[in-house]
Structure 1
Amino acid sequence: MPAYEIDGYDNLIAGMVQPIVTQSIIINQATDAKFERGTVLARTGFTEEGMWVCTIVNSEATPAEEKVPVGVLADEEVDATTAQQRATAYVSGEFNRDALIFGGTDTIATHEAALNAAKIYTKRVVK
């Protein structure tokens, strides 16, 4: 689960004008908690030590916290289907809008304004 090993072109990072800032997070155990790099995250709480607890953002989620994007998963894959996992999230930077992954039926159009408000800027990338 290396977070920063990049072989060739990085489809997620779309620029370096805005600083890329990371945050250590926790993904709680859940049957559907298997996420890939680029998953847009919502903060659902904090650990006793102050670490963010996150899950995939989903505008159809019942808890209001799960509707607000706060970061983008940096790790290649995080599998919390059997146990809670530590991970790394980008909480600031410029990202390829087509590489972002959302929960439910959400799309970039659902969350783009909220992402920009959270200093997560989206760009169209031409390869």
Structure 2
Amino acid sequence: MPAYQSVPYDNLIAGMVQPIVTQSIVINQAAGAKYDRGTVLARTGFEVDGTWICTIVNSAATAAEAKVPVGVLADVEVDATLTKQRATAYTSGEFNREALKFGGTDSIAIHEAALNNAKIYTKRVVK
């Protein structure tokens, strides 16, 4: 029987009461489209097969849909500066509010209510 392995501390996940749900997404090619785990995402469209097209949420964005958070990037790093990239986003769960990343000068205070409406719950984590 194999020995149990310890699970490393994940600064992003803040609880397991709410189910963690994932969604396959595409991040379109764009200058500066290099995102890290915990980036809050907005859905800006759909691929032909129905896959969500996402970008970093930013309240200063021109397009209204880029201002509405729908997920949190699950992958460690996604670099779409040269070509679009497939990735995975969390679309529900409990997350450390201090580990979330936003576009522009946005902060958790701007998006927390919208995140909660999207079933993405934020918590303060004491280390």
TM-score class, shorter-chain normalisation, is over 0.9
Q: Give the drift of 1:59.
A: 0.1
**Amino acid aligned to 1:67:** K
Unaligned runs of 5+ in 1: 1-5
Alignment of 1:24-103 (within 5 A): 24-103=24-103
SS where residue 87 of structure 2 aligns? strand
CA distance in 2, matches of 1:87, 1:103: 18
CA distance in 1, matches of 2:112, 2:31: 27
CA deviations over 1:9-61 (Å, ceiling 9, x no partner): 10000000000000000000001100000000000000010000000000000
**Amino acid aligned to 2:120:** I
**Structure 1 equivalent of residue 14 of structure 2:** 14
CA distance in 2, matches of 1:74, 1:119: 16
Percent pairwise identity: 79
Q: Give the drift of 1:7.
A: 6.2
**Structure 2 equivalent of residue 105 of structure 1:** 105
SS where residue 106 of structure 1 aligns? coil
Structure number, greater radius of gyration: 2
**Structure 2 equivalent of residue 117 of structure 1:** 117
**Structure 1 equivalent of residue 3 of structure 2:** none
SS where residue 89 of structure 1 aligns? strand
Coordinate RMSD, CA, aligned: 1.1
After superposing on structure 2, the runs of 4+ consecutive aligned residues of structure 1 that deviate more than 3 Å are none
SS where residue 115 of structure 1 aligns? helix
